[in-house]
Every structure is written in C-alpha cells, then in structure tokens.
Amino acid sequence: MNLMYKHCILLFMILGLTSGGYAQKNQRPNVILVITDDQGYGDLGFTGNLHVKTPVIDALARESVRFNNFYVSPVCAPTRSSLMTGRYSLRTGMRDTYNGGAIMASNEVTIAEMLKQADYTTGAFGKWHLGDNYPSRPSDQGFDESVIHLSGGMGQVGDITTYFKGDTSYFDPVLWHNNQQQAYEGYCSDIFTDQAINFIDKNKESPFFCYLAYNAPHTPLQVPDSYYQKYRDIDPSAGFGKDGKPFSKMSEKDKEDARKVYAMVNNIDDNLGKLFKKLDALGLSENTLVIFMTDNGPQQTRYVSGMRGLKGDVYNGGVRVPFYLKYPALSKGDKDVETMTAHLDVLPTLSAICDVEMPKDRIIDGKSLVPLIQGQKVEWADRSLFFYWSRRYPELYNNMAIQKAGYKLVGKTDYNAAIEDFELFQLTKDPYEQHNVLKENKELAIDLKKELDKIYGELIISENLVNPPKISVGTPYENPVILNRNDAGGERGIWNQEEIYGHWDTEIEEGYYDITFKFVQPVVGNGKMVLEANTLVRQMENKKGDTDIIQMEKVYFPKMTGKLLPFYAVDNKNIFPFWMEMKRVD
C-alpha cells in the first residue's frame, strides 16, 4: 500500500468521524417530532403574523414540505392520542382533557412502540397528557426515557408538583423523570429542550425518536422577563384586517395575553435553534426527519390568519394548524401540499419512511403522506375528516363537523335538528367560513350528514370508550400511586373545588395500603374521613385537628375493579381531596 493511499484512507476516516455521520450511515432516519401547545396557525412569522419573532421555525418552514391544509382535534389530549396512534381519539378511549377522560387505553400502539420494532431509542419531553399512572405513562407506551409534567399543563390541578407554585409554576419545577420526581432549574421550555438535546447526544450512534412536546404557550402565560420585554410595548392588533382576512376585535386583556404568548413562542423558537445547531454539530441533520406542528388553535383572541374560531371550536381556527416536515433524504423541501391531511397521518407516514410495520389488528384512520411528499398524484376524493368537541362525551351535532372534498358541514345545533339548522362551507372559495351555502347545496349537505352520522355511530361504540381505561393500583410497576384531579371523574366541572362529587376508576390488587389524602385547603378538625370502594366503606374520625393531610394506615382491599370515592364529611359538607396517594405495604 503506497503512502499517498494510506493518507487518503486516514483523511477519509477523520472526515467521517468529525462529521458525526460516521455512526448513522445507511440506517433508518432519526425522528424529531415537535408539537407546541395552544399555538395557533397565525402565531408564526411565516403564516403572516407581523409581531411574533420566529426566524428558526420560519426557516424550517421554507426548507420543509408544507402541508397547508393540515388538521387536528379542537383540543389537546384528543389531538395527542390521534397523533400517537393514527386513530380517531374516541377509538383510544380519549374523550376529554380532564374529568377522567384524558387517559389513553394501554392497548393502543404508539409511534414509539411501533418504532421499537426497528430498535429505535425513544424519548418524550414536555407534555404527555395521555395518562399519569400505570399503564398509560410514556414508559408504559414505548418510551425509554421521559421528562414530563403531569396532566394537561403545569400549574393545573393534575400537576401536583407545580400547582401550588401559582404564578411561578413554569420556573424551577419539579418534573417527572422516568416516573420519579426530580427538581430542575430554569424555565420549562428551556428545560425540556435541554433534556431532548441530552437524549439526542446520548443516542446519536443509532436511530432515535425524540418527541418534544412543549407545554407553551398554554396558560398560565408565564415567560422569562427578557422575552416579555421584547413585546411589552407592541399593539398585537395593529396591521391586521386590511388584507381581506377577517380579524376579530381584541380587548386589552387579549392584547396583553398575545404579548405573553408571542414571548413564549419566541422562546420556543430560540430553543429549536439550539436543537438544530446540535443536530448540525453531530452531523445528524441529513439523516433526521423533523416535524413541527401545533395541537389546536389559540385559546385567546388574536391573529389567526383570518380563520374563524379558536381552540375548542370545529371551525378552522380551532383545528387547522401549521405542519412542516423536513427530511432531506426524501425531499429537497420548499414545497407546498394543499391536499387535506391530519394528525392521523403521522404514524402511517413514519411507518412508511422508517420502514416499520403499522399495527394490523386495528383500524388505522390515517394515511401515509409519502406519496404527497414525492409529488405523486393522490386521489383522496373519498376521504373525510370528522371533528367534534364537547365536555365528557360527544354531544350529537353540538360543535361537530365533517370535512370532505373541499366542503365542510358544521353542526352547532340539537341532536334532532333539521338539515337547515346546519352550516355548509365551500372551503376552496371560502376558507374563512363566512358564507353558509347549505340552501343551494342541500343534497350535498344531506349526504355529508349521513357520513357524519356513520362515523359518529361507529366511534361512539368504540371498545376503549365503552370500557374506558382504569388506573392500576398496587402493581410493582407503580407504588405508590398518586391519583390526581385531572383523572378524577364525577361532576363535569370538577377542577379545584372543595365541595364536589368525584371518584377515580381503578383496578386494585389485593393487599394492605397506606393512604394519604391531600386537600386544597385545611379541613376543620371535627369531621370524618370516608373512603368508599364498591361495597367497601372505610371511615375514620379526624383527631389531628385542622389539617390539609389525612392518613389511613393498613387499609385492606380485595382484588377489585371499581370507583374509589373519598370524601371528608364535616358540618353537612362532603369535601373531595385534591389528590390521593395509595401505597401498598404488604
């Protein structure tokens, strides 16, 4: 071997090592899925917002395949279950964002579980909102590592480690690292990004799936002051409404909320800049598929690119979101796709690109986006999308819609309403849903209603909805179990009230348990703690005096499935605990 040839071989090896691509030649792509919380379609510079600063996401959009008619559910937990499974949320047992309806059935197959077939290492960082207890946590659903907050948001009732921090819940939080409480320093979005970067760095030599689910810009609207100062003096309503797009009037509170939201989004943008720089430094950018999307429309009134409605609404302002997919090996990017697509399509798309099989034993409602990315002509004329949102369970024709072939039928009416009480929009001509064309297209509206009825009728009897997921208590996989208000059923409006009926649906293993009850406010000392579980009733006089913690020791339970119904009885009041811990001690 001559000297020059040896030098060439050495140079090739050095270049391979320093590029960072040495470890990932000829293997499946890494996947980074970024989803933000309550960031609407109009909360980006790229989509026409004149005030928010998002240079990193804007650049990503220019380099990506942009799906310009991409849809999600009107609220967060249903969106996340559909995203993870490729199935309508009702099939997965998800029916609400709290009230015991935000627990995804453990028999669902997530993106993470699917990718594990190909030996992907998987990590989830940020918001999960698909169940806080075994068997529905990220670790139970295919994720090797997780750093998350509980329930629907930090500072909300289900997130017991941050709720009592009030106006500082987004700073220096106690989070859940692989199901164990751990204290972190800093701002939540910074923390979740840093943890995702650490995960990528540790797993750079083999394919990984990183699910980065920011809880921002969801309420409470908390942001580092350095970001807020950038927006403190702006008028978020200025400059809109002159381009023919409808623009809702903003109150002074709306404007202040928008300033905080834009500051939070600006922070996310900076964090994604850090993440993408890390990919470049590791030489992983070419072999990494990056998706950016949001989970639903904005909660507060602000610029939403002219669309009608907000979060929770089946109008486009509630369900149409940005969706950008960048994967250099598949597409050079900078491409627009106008075909109607949805969160349901992400799992099938990753199945195709990563060459792993989808579940074959269930209905997958989504479609692979690969043909659209590759510019193939796709005939999806028969495709429809179903939307709904109401608390607890779907209410027939109340905030319900079906979209198909450029038309959208919207029901904001009674269960027995005539077709004339619905609205029909031709989205290709009226993307802002301002003109009801039902009268001149009545037959089409009737046909769409028939399809809506068919889909609704199928989904409402889904096995995981009829027999909803239960929280497992007393297993070796989680002990103790903390039951929080987000997962408590009972009255529809259950939140942080004291006098309210509530319970938890559980499967309890036989054994003895030490039980702790925590209350929002201290309860007075002349009452009695009562715990009902099917036919079992356990009661104990409170001898501690005024207290916010009451404990029962060595309470025996047979193996059972049923509702745990605790309350503190005092002065003709029944006070529901804020949370309840059960620790098996036998």
Predicted confidence (pLDDT) per residue in 320-337, tens digit:
999 999 999 999 999 999
Specify whether 236 is located in the same domain as 172. Answer: yes
- pLDDT at position 25 is 56
Which of 353, 373, 393 lies at the terminal end of a domain, its last residue? 373
Under DSSP, the state recorded for 62 is: H
Cis status, amide bond into 135, omega within 30 of 0 = yes
- pLDDT at position 377 is 81
Burial of 448-465, coded b for 16+ CB within 10 Å and e otherwise, reads bbeebeebbeebeebebb
Give bridge partners of residue 557 from the DSSP assignment: 511
Query: Residue 191 carries which side chain, given as an amino acid letter?
Result: I
- CATH of residue 418: 3.30.1120.10
Specify whether 358 is located in the same domain as 430. Answer: no
Q: What is the pLDDT of residues 214-230, one digit of tens each?
A: 999 999 999 999 999 99
- pLDDT at position 214 is 98
- pLDDT at position 381 is 72
d(CA 242, CA 561): 59
Structure token pair of residue 332:
């050079």
Q: Are 111 and 103 in contact (CB under 8 A)?
A: no
- pLDDT at position 2 is 43
Specify whether 294 is located in the same domain as 177. Answer: yes
Rg, Å, the chain Cα set = 25
Structure token pair of residue 159:
């997130």
The SS3 assignment for 44 reads: coil
d(CA 468, CA 90): 10
* Contacts of the segment 356-361: beta carbons below 8 A, 24+ positions apart: 356/114, 356/115, 356/117, 356/118, 357/114, 357/117, 358/86, 358/114, 359/109, 359/114
Specify whether 246 is located in the same domain as 174. Answer: yes
Residue 455 lies in a domain: yes
Q: Consecutive sets of 10 residues in the chain, 586 residues long: mean pLDDT of each? A: 38 34 66 98 97 98 98 98 98 96 98 98 98 98 98 97 97 98 98 98 97 98 98 97 91 98 98 98 97 98 98 98 96 94 98 97 97 87 93 95 97 98 97 97 98 98 97 98 97 94 98 98 96 97 96 98 98 97 97
- CATH of residue 547: 2.60.120.260
Where residue 315 falls (left for φ over 0; alpha for ψ -120 to 50; beta otherwise) is beta
Which of 465, 497, 516 lies at the terminal end of a domain, its last residue? 465
d(CA 485, CA 482): 10
CB-facing half-sphere around the CA of 149: CA atoms within 13 A = 32
Residue 545 lies in a domain: yes
pTM confidence score? 0.95
- CATH of residue 94: 3.40.720.10
- pLDDT at position 26 is 58
Q: Are 96 and 130 in contact (CB under 8 A)?
A: no
Give bridge partners of residue 125 from the DSSP assignment: 147, 212
Q: Are 538 and 530 in contact (CB under 8 A)?
A: yes
Q: Look at the alpha carbons of 404, 406, 407, 412 in this order and tell me if their dihedral is positive or negative.
A: positive
- Placement of tokens 């989004």 in the chain: 265
Specify whether 368 is located in the same domain as 399. Answer: no
d(CA 221, CA 229): 14
Specify whether 81 is located in the same domain as 201. Answer: yes
Q: Are 542 and 550 in contact (CB under 8 A)?
A: yes
Residue 213 lies in a domain: yes
CB-facing half-sphere around the CA of 216: CA atoms within 13 A = 28
Bridge-based pairing state of the strands 341-342 and 70-71:
parallel
Which of 373, 401, 433 lies at the terminal end of a domain, its last residue? 373
Residue 345 lies in a domain: yes
Cis status, amide bond into 480, omega within 30 of 0 = yes
Under DSSP, the state recorded for 187 is: B
| Structural domain harbouring 522 | 471-584
d(CA 464, CA 263): 39
Backbone angles phi, psi at 301, to 5 degrees: -70, 125
Residue 3 lies in a domain: no
- pLDDT at position 243 is 84
d(CA 202, CA 110): 23
* Structural domains in the chain (count): 3
- pLDDT at position 362 is 98
